[in-house]
A = this chain, B = another copy of it.
Amino acid sequence: MENNNAVSALAALAQENRLAVFRLLVRNAPEGLTPGVIGEQLELPAPTLSFHLKTLAQAGLVTAIQEGRFVRYRAEMAGINALIDFLTEDCCCGHPQLCIPKGKQE
C-alpha cells in the first residue's frame, strides 16, 4: 500500500461519523446498506452522509453500486485489510520482536 493511500484511509476513518458508517457497513457485510438506511440508523442528514460516503469511497474503504432508485454501499474488505497490513508492517519493520499483534502470535 502506498503511503498516500494509507494516509487517505487513515484520514477517512479518523472521523467519528465516518468510522460509525464504516463499522455499520461491516456489521452489514456483505449485503451493504443504502444511504437512506444508514442515515436513519446514525441520524445523519443526507448531504452530510453523502459527503462522508464519498470520502470513504475515495479512500477505497467502501464501494457503491446503483440498484434502481437506490444505491447500495458496501464495506470494502480489501481496503481495510490493506490498511491493517500497512500498519502491521510499518509497526514491525526492523523490530518484529517489539511488535507482535495478537494476530501474529503463533
List the interface of chain A (C-beta within 8 A of B): 3, 6-7, 10-11, 13-16, 19, 22-23, 26-27, 29-30, 75, 77, 80-81, 83-85, 87-88, 90-91, 93-95, 98-104
Contact = CB atoms under 8 A, between A and B. Distances in A.
B27 A94 contact: yes
Given A7-B19, A10-B14, A77 B98 contact: yes
Given A3-B19, A7-B19, A15-B7, A29 B81 contact: no
A72 to B, nearest CB: 16
A23 B91 CA distance: 7
Given A77-B99, A81-B102, A101-B103, 4 more contacts: A13-B87, A77-B98, A80-B91, A84-B87
A93 B27 contact: yes
> How many copies altogether?
2
B85 A80 contact: no
A26 B81 contact: no
A3 B13 CA distance: 11
